[in-house]
Amino acid sequence: MSITRLETGQRMSKIVKHNGTVYLCGQTSDRETVAEQTRHCLEKVEALLEQAGSDKTRILQCVIWLADMADFAEMNAVWDAWVPEGHAPARACGEAKLARDVLKVELLVTAAYDD
C-alpha cells in the first residue's frame, strides 16, 4: 500500500493518495465575497481531483470552515449548485478563525479514486 504525494512542499502536499482515497489540502481563496471564495475553492477542488484521477462525483466527505456562520446561506447557495444531484458527500460545516483575515471559507475534501 503505497502513499503518493503530489505538489509537495516543506509544509504540506496539495494531494495525498492512498489505498483508493485521495485527500486534498484545505482550499481557500482571497476573492472578495463568500460566494466568490466558495466558487473559486470549488474550482480548485475540481482541478486537484482531476489531477488525482477523481472527480466531484466521487467526493466522500467535505469539511467546510467559515470565518462567520452568518455566511452559511451564501456559501450553501454556491455549494448546492455545484454538487451533482445524487452525489452529495458526507459534510460538516463550522465556524473557525482562518489563517488570514481575508479568508472567509476553507474546504477540506476527501474523495475516492481508482487505484
Q: Which residue among the candidates 25, 41, 62, 93 is catalytic per the annotation?
A: 93
Q: Is the dihedral of CA 80, 82, 88, 94 positive or negative?
A: negative
Helix axes 34-51, 72-82, angle to 10 degrees: 40
Give the model's confidence band at 1: pLDDT under 50 very low, under 70 low, under 90 confident, else very high.
confident
**What pTM did the predictor assign?**
0.94
- The architecture of the domain spanning 3-112 is 2-Layer Sandwich (3.30)
Residue 115 pLDDT grade (very low, low, confident, very high; cuts 50, 70, 90): confident
Contact by Cβ (8 Å): 113, 16: no
Encode pLDDT of 72-112 as tens digits: 999 999 999 999 999 999 999 999 999 999 999 999 999 99
* Average pLDDT score over residue span 7-19: 96
Q: Residue 110: what residue type?
A: T
Q: What is the DSSP pairing of strand 21-24 with strand 59-66? A: unpaired
Cell of 74: 451564501
Domain positions in the chain are: 3-112
Per-residue pLDDT tens digits for 15-65: 999 999 999 999 999 999 999 999 999 999 999 999 999 999 999 999 999
Asked if 93 is an active-site residue, the reply is: yes
Cβ atoms within 10 A of the Cβ of 24, count?
A: 24
